[in-house]
Amino acid sequence: MTTTPRERVLTGDTPTGRLHLGHYVGSIENRLRLQEEYECYFLLANMHAFTTRSDKPDDIRADTIEIVKDWLACGIDPERSCVVLQTEVPAIAELTWYFSMLIAFNRVMRNPTLKTEIDAKGLGDHYSFGFPLYAVGQCADILAFRPVHVPVGEDQVAHIEMCREVARKFNHLYCGVDQHTLDEEHHTAGGVFPIPAALVGKVGRLVGTDGKQKMSKSLNNAIFLSDTPKEVKKKINAMYPGQSRNPDEPGIVEINPVFDYADIFIKDTAMVEELKDRYRRGDNLGDGHVKAPVIEAINELLDPIRARRAQYEGKDGNDMVIDIIRAGTKRANAVAEDTLARAKEAMRLGFGDRATFLG
Ligand code: TRP
């Protein structure tokens, strides 16, 4: 019996703290689904963390371990999928250099995701040289694995678009792929790189508990996957429903962010419709009555995540995580080294394999 190799998927997170519900509905859910069918690589972008926090190496290390715990808690299966540590995949750093020469400096600086980040983090014009470079690095993160899909939140789509441009340019310059070749035909036309597609989750942008901005750790409006049932309850109960009204006055569903959560997290859609109906009519429905089933639904989603997380919270937890990182990264390097060798061959840089020069 022959088995065709599974197509690959790559995505990653920058270790900046714990994951929240926005990550879950934006990308994690897709990852869990994809790992059933594809060969998945989940990258810890710890190098990228240094682009804005080079003065915080201890924090970056702790966040790196913590994010793996979040992944495992969600159901990422390290037997099936690879957990990959960016700083131990040298092919990524090398490809970053080659790719940086295939994209105009000003094109990188116009990347809207970088601009948003500069504003959100208040970086002004003091950011490091490495900060915008990370966008090129992200092209290398992805292309090192020659994946077909990249599951990400909406904010990352601009990066994936840049990655697609780099892949097309590389295939054209070094593999003789005609410029008019369709994206899906680049690989069969002899390109080293397939043109990967971004895959955004069912909710690309989840509103935070402030009801205004996107859920984000730095905006203090996040419900974390590791929050206790009590914390979830407290955060939802503190949400402003968008209007002040008495339970017997008609309410506007559309301006109440609690209903966004109801739509996303409550499985019983008929029940949600009934709640909305009563709310609109002012049928004696207080905000607490809308919030209670939302709290319950979120806790129901988080309960198994909390239970799996507990396995890694003991004193051996960090060692277990490090073992998983080592095993996954080793498997990942086999793919990334193969990609790098193919890329260098195409660039007429094939003078011998690594062993020739390191031995
Ligand atoms: N920049 C991404 C984020 O901040 C993380 C990331 C790094 C990534 N490399 C990647 C995502 C490759 C997808 C593919 O969320």
Q: What is the pLDDT of residue 97?
A: 98
Whether the predicted pLDDT of 201 surpasses 90: no
| Residue 149 in tokens | 């899909």
CA neighbor of 335 nearest in space, from 92, 45, 99: 92
In a domain, 45, yes or no: yes
Mean pLDDT of all residues in 86-93: 98
Q: Mean of the per-residue pLDDT values for the chain? A: 95
Could you tell me if the CB of 198 is within 6 A of ligand 1?
A: no
In a domain, 337, yes or no: yes
- Whether 101 and 166 share a structural domain: yes
Q: What is the pTM of this model?
A: 0.93
Distances (CA, A) of 215 to 22, 210, 219, 228: 6, 8, 7, 18
Q: What is the pLDDT of residue 171?
A: 98
Number of domain units in the chain: 2
Dist CA 135 CA 336 (whole Å): 18
More confident site: 202 or 326: 326
Residue-wise pLDDT for 145-168, tens only, equals 999 999 998 999 999 999 999 999
Could you tell me if the CB of 335 is within 6 A of ligand 1?
A: no
Could you tell me if the CB of 13 is within 6 A of ligand 1?
A: yes
* Dist. CA 44 → ligand 1 center (Å): 8
In a domain, 218, yes or no: no
In a domain, 2, yes or no: no
In a domain, 215, yes or no: no
- Whether 159 and 289 share a structural domain: no
Atom 2 (ligand 1) nearest CA: 13
Atom 13 (ligand 1) nearest CA: 11
Q: What is the pLDDT of residue 150?
A: 97
More confident site: 355 or 73: 73
3-class secondary structure, 254: helix
Q: What is the pLDDT of residue 2?
A: 60
- Whether 142 and 288 share a structural domain: no
In a domain, 82, yes or no: yes
Q: What is the pLDDT of residue 218?
A: 83
In a domain, 212, yes or no: no
- Whether 190 and 176 share a structural domain: yes
What is the span of the domain harbouring residue 253? 229-310
Whether the predicted pLDDT of 17 surpasses 90: no
Residue-wise pLDDT for 183-196, tens only, equals 999 999 999 999 99
Whether the predicted pLDDT of 180 surpasses 60: yes
- Whether 127 and 244 share a structural domain: no
pLDDT class of 120 with cuts at 50, 70, 90 = confident
- Whether 181 and 57 share a structural domain: yes
pLDDT class of 4 with cuts at 50, 70, 90 = confident
- Whether 306 and 324 share a structural domain: no
Could you tell me if the CB of 31 is within 6 A of ligand 1?
A: no
- Whether 234 and 198 share a structural domain: no
- Whether 163 and 24 share a structural domain: yes
Could you tell me if the CB of 14 is within 6 A of ligand 1?
A: yes
pLDDT class of 202 with cuts at 50, 70, 90 = confident
In a domain, 217, yes or no: no
* Dist. CA 174 → ligand 1 center (Å): 26
Whether the predicted pLDDT of 5 surpasses 90: no
Share of the chain above pLDDT 70, in %: 99
More confident site: 179 or 204: 179
Domain of 40, CATH number, reads 3.40.50.620
Could you tell me if the CB of 227 is within 6 A of ligand 1?
A: no
CB atoms within 10 A of CB 219: 14
Residue-wise pLDDT for 238-293, tens only, equals 999 999 999 999 999 999 999 999 999 999 999 999 999 999 999 999 999 999 99
Q: What is the pLDDT of residue 1?
A: 57
Domain of 261, CATH number, reads 1.10.240.10
